[in-house]
Structure 1
Amino acid sequence: MEHPQPASMRDVAQAAGVSAQTVSRVANGSTAVRPQTRQRVEAAMSKLGYRPNYAARALKHGRFKNVGVLLYNMTSYGNARILNGIVTAAAESGYAVTVHTISRRGNQSLGSAIRHLQQLPVDGAVALLERQVPDFNEFRPGKDMPVVLVSEDPANHCPTIDADQYGCSIAVVDYLLSRGHRTVYHVAGPPTSRAAESRAQGWQDALWQFGIPLPKTYVGDWEADSGYQAGLALSHEDECTAIYAANDQMAYGVVQGLAAGGKRVPQDVSVIGVDDSLLGVVPRLGLTTMRMKFNEIGREAFSMVRRQCEGEQVPVGVKTVIPAELIERVSVRDIND
C-alpha cells in the first residue's frame, strides 16, 4: 500500500495563493506577514496537514528554535509555574519547548541529562535544579549547547537564576518580630530540597541576628498533612505565637492542626506561608504569604538561553535573584496592639 507524500511548502503556497517565501515566513513565525495572509496560509497548512521540516530549518538558520527544559517533576507548584513562564515566553518568540524529566534514581548527573537533550532537536536548555546534582561544580556546557540553571546555588559556568529563598525568610522573621512576637517557629520543607534548606537557613540567621535562641524545627514534606501534624504539635507549645511554614500547603495544614488543638489563627497564633499557591484554590483565603514570582523566573530563564542561542553573551558566575513579595491577608496578628 502506497502512503501519500506529505504536503510540501510549494503545495501550501499554491493552495493559499501566495509565494513559497511567504509560507516559509509564516512557518518560521516571522511578523513580516499581513494577518489576513497569515490566516490563509495557516488554514492551507491545516487542510493539507503540512508540517515544517525542522531539520531543513536548522540547516538554513543554524537553529531549531526549540529549547529543552530539564526538571525533576512537573507537579510541584513552583516547577509548574516556572515551566509556564518558559513556555509562554518561548511561544512569544516563536520557539518550541521540549520537556525532559531528570531521573531521581541513581542521582542522575546534570551532564548525562544534558547529553540526552543533545540527541534531540534543541538549541539550548534550562535546567530546574531543585535538588543538588553530583556534578554541579564540574559540569561545563558545550559550545553548541547553552545552558541556564534555575538553581539556589550560583554556578560559575552557567547563567543562574532563582527566587530569593534566603531573603524571603529574613523578611518573614523581620515582619513577625516587628509585630511583637518574641520568636518564630518554623515548619521546614524536606531536606532533599535546596529551596527548603535556604529558607530554613534564612530563618535561623534572622533569629540569631536578633539574639533569639532557635525554637524546635518541624520538618514537613511540602504537603498539607505534614503541616497539620506540625500545627497540632505546636498547639501545645505555650511560647508559640508565630509560625512560618516553608510553603502555603503546609501553612494551610498548620492552621487546621492548630484549630484541632484548640488554637485560633490569628488570635492565638499567627501563621505565614510561602508561594501564594492557594489563591483561587481555597475559598476566602486568609493566609498571609510571601509570593514567589515563579512565572517571572521562567520568562527570564528563557530569555537568557534564547539570547545565547542567537549569539549574544550572557554573564556567567552571577546569579539573578528574583525577590518575593509580601501578600498581607488576615492570618497574622500584631500583638503590640
Structure 2
Amino acid sequence: MQDVAREAGVSPQTVSRVANGGAAVRPETRRRVEDAMRRLGYRPNYAARALKHGRFKDIGVVMFHMTSFGNARILDGIVSAAAADDYSVTIQIMRSGPERTLQAAVERMKQQPVDGVIVVLEEMIADFNDFVPPKGLPVVLVTERVADHCPTVDADQYGCSIAAVDYLLSKGHRTVYHVAGPSQSHAAQSRVRGWRDALEQMGATVPPVLMGDWEADSGYQAGVVLAHTPDCTAVYASNDQMAYGVIQGLQSAGKRVPEDVSVVGVDDSLVGMVPRLQLTTMRMKFEDIGRKAFAMVRDQCEGRQVPVGVKTVVPAELVERESVRDLTA
C-alpha cells in the first residue's frame, strides 16, 4: 500500500479508501491509484483486512454432491446472492467414512477463512441432533428438519406432495401411485409422507410405494410395472427425471399419457433439456432457497439476530402442462 501511495502520489489512506471501495475519492485520483495498483501488481491482503475488520467476507458451503439439479441450483442462488453483497464462497464436499458427520464438516470448514457456514443436508446424518455450532461461527442448515441449534431453510417437500396429490384427486383419479426417491434422502422421505397423508386425508386407497433412485431408468422400470397395474390412472414421481422415465416405461408397455395414465413430477428440471416438454410438475424454487440461506448466515455474520428452532419454508409451484387428464370433464 505504501508503494502504491508513492507511485500514485497520494497518501496511504487514499489507497486504502480506493482498495475498500470508499466513495470519498475524486474520480481522477481513483483512476491514478488504480493505474498504480495495476502497474505494481497490488492486490488487497485479505488476512490483514480480516484482522482490521473482523470478517473475511467469505461464506463456506458444505454439500454432499454438487452435480444434482437441486444442489446446483441452490449453490447458484448462494453464489449469486453472495456476489451481490461482495462476499466470496468457499465450497467443500462432505467426506465419507467416520468423518461424514455434521460436526466434522463444520469444524473442517472452520479451518478456512470463512465468516459463516451453510450446510446443504440432502441426506440423513447421524449427529444432527447432537451437533453444536462452533462458538463465533454462524451456521445455517438447508434441511427440512427443525434444528434447536441453528436456523434451517428448505423447500416445502411435504407440502409439495400434498399439493400434487390433491391436484390429481381433483381431476377425478381415485388414487395416486408414487415413485419415491432413495431412502437416505430427506426430501424423498418427506415427499412419501406428504403423498401418503394426502391420500389418507381424502379417504383414498394408499397403494404400495415404488422405490427409485432419482434416475430416469428407475422411473422407466416403475412405469413398466405400473402399466400392468389395473387401477393405476395417476402417478406422482418424486422428481422429473423419474417422472419422464415413468412416461417412457408406460408408453413402452402400450399405455398412453395422459389418456390412460396421468403423470406428475417434481422440480421442473427438464426445461431446456426435453423438447416439447409436456410434463406437469411441482417446481421447486431452489435458487430462492440458496438466496435465503445466504441472507440468514450473512445477517448473523453482520451481528443481526436470526431465530433458531424455526424452519424457513419455500413453497413449491404447480406447473401445469399436458401430462394430466381431467377425468371429471
Given the alignment of the two structures, is residue 133 of structure 1 paired with residue 125 of structure 2, yes or no?
A: yes
Q: Please, which of 196, 210, 213 is the counterpart of residue 205 of structure 2?
A: 213
Q: Distance in 2 between matches of 1:37 and 1:232?
A: 72
Q: Distance in 1 between matches of 2:276 and 2:28?
A: 45
Structure-1 residue corresponding to 2:268: 276
CA 1:149–1:41: 2 relative to 1, 3 Å: farther
> Are 1:126 and 1:148, in contact at CA under 8 Å, matched by a contact in 2?
yes
> Are 1:29 and 1:94, in contact at CA under 8 Å, matched by a contact in 2?
no
SS in 2 for 1:106: helix
Gaps of 5+ in 1: 1-8
Given the alignment of the two structures, is residue 181 of structure 1 paired with residue 173 of structure 2, yes or no?
A: yes
TM-score, length basis structure 1: 0.91
Structure-1 residue corresponding to 2:324: 332
**Structure 1 residue identity aligned to 2:102:** L
Q: Distance in 2 between matches of 1:151 and 1:30?
A: 38
Structure-1 residue corresponding to 2:281: 289
TM-aligned CA deviation for residue 42 of structure 1: 5.7
TM-score, length basis structure 2: 0.94
TM-aligned CA deviation for residue 237 of structure 1: 1.1
Q: Distance in 1 between matches of 2:306 and 2:265?
A: 34
TM-aligned CA deviation for residue 109 of structure 1: 1.2
Given the alignment of the two structures, is residue 152 of structure 1 paired with residue 163 of structure 2, yes or no?
A: no
SS in 2 for 1:311: coil
**Structure 2 residue identity aligned to 1:79:** N
Q: Please, which of 44, 48, 51 is the counterpart of residue 43 of structure 2?
A: 51
SS in 2 for 1:155: coil
**Structure 1 residue identity aligned to 2:312:** T
SS in 2 for 1:286: coil
Q: Please, which of 302, 307, 324 is the counterpart of residue 299 of structure 2?
A: 307
Q: Distance in 1 between matches of 2:30 and 2:209?
A: 59
Q: Distance in 1 between matches of 2:283 and 2:236?
A: 14
CA 1:60–1:225: 2 relative to 1, 3 Å: same
Given the alignment of the two structures, is residue 250 of structure 1 paired with residue 242 of structure 2, yes or no?
A: yes
> Are 1:107 and 1:134, in contact at CA under 8 Å, matched by a contact in 2?
no
**Structure 2 residue identity aligned to 1:70:** V
Q: For structure 1, which segment, 34-43 or 213-222, has the greater mean C-alpha deviation from structure 2 after superposition? A: 34-43
Gaps of 5+ in 2: none
Given the alignment of the two structures, is residue 241 of structure 1 paired with residue 233 of structure 2, yes or no?
A: yes
**Structure 2 residue identity aligned to 1:271:** V
TM-aligned CA deviation for residue 86 of structure 1: 0.6
Structure-2 residue corresponding to 1:116: 108
Q: Please, which of 202, 222, 227 is the counterpart of residue 230 of structure 1?
A: 222
Structure-2 residue corresponding to 1:5: none
Q: Distance in 2 between matches of 1:176 and 1:34?
A: 64
TM-aligned CA deviation for residue 256 of structure 1: 0.8
CA 1:327–1:26: 2 relative to 1, 3 Å: farther
TM-aligned CA deviation for residue 310 of structure 1: 0.7
CA 1:124–1:30: 2 relative to 1, 3 Å: farther
Q: Distance in 2 between matches of 1:269 and 1:33?
A: 67
> Are 1:184 and 1:243, in contact at CA under 8 Å, matched by a contact in 2?
yes
Percent of residue pairs bearing the same amino acid type: 67
* Cα-to-partner distance string for 1:219-267 (whole Å, 9 max, x where unaligned): 1110111111111111111211110000011111111111111111111
TM-aligned CA deviation for residue 34 of structure 1: 7.7
Q: For structure 1, which segment, 19-28 or 192-201, has the greater mean C-alpha deviation from structure 2 after superposition? A: 19-28
TM-aligned CA deviation for residue 18 of structure 1: 6.1
> Are 2:99 and 2:105, in contact at CA under 8 Å, matched by a contact in 1?
no
> Are 2:149 and 2:309, in contact at CA under 8 Å, matched by a contact in 1?
yes
**Structure 2 residue identity aligned to 1:206:** A
**Structure 2 residue identity aligned to 1:171:** A
Q: Distance in 1 between matches of 2:265 and 2:26?
A: 48
TM-aligned CA deviation for residue 275 of structure 1: 0.5
Given the alignment of the two structures, is residue 202 of structure 1 paired with residue 194 of structure 2, yes or no?
A: yes
Within-5 A mapping of 1:15-94: 20-28=12-20, 45-46=37-38, 48-94=40-86
Q: Distance in 1 between matches of 2:136 and 2:157?
A: 32
**Structure 2 residue identity aligned to 1:257:** G
TM-aligned CA deviation for residue 23 of structure 1: 4.3
> Are 1:244 and 1:251, in contact at CA under 8 Å, matched by a contact in 2?
yes
* Cα-to-partner distance string for 1:16-46 (whole Å, 9 max, x where unaligned): 6765445434544556678887777666545
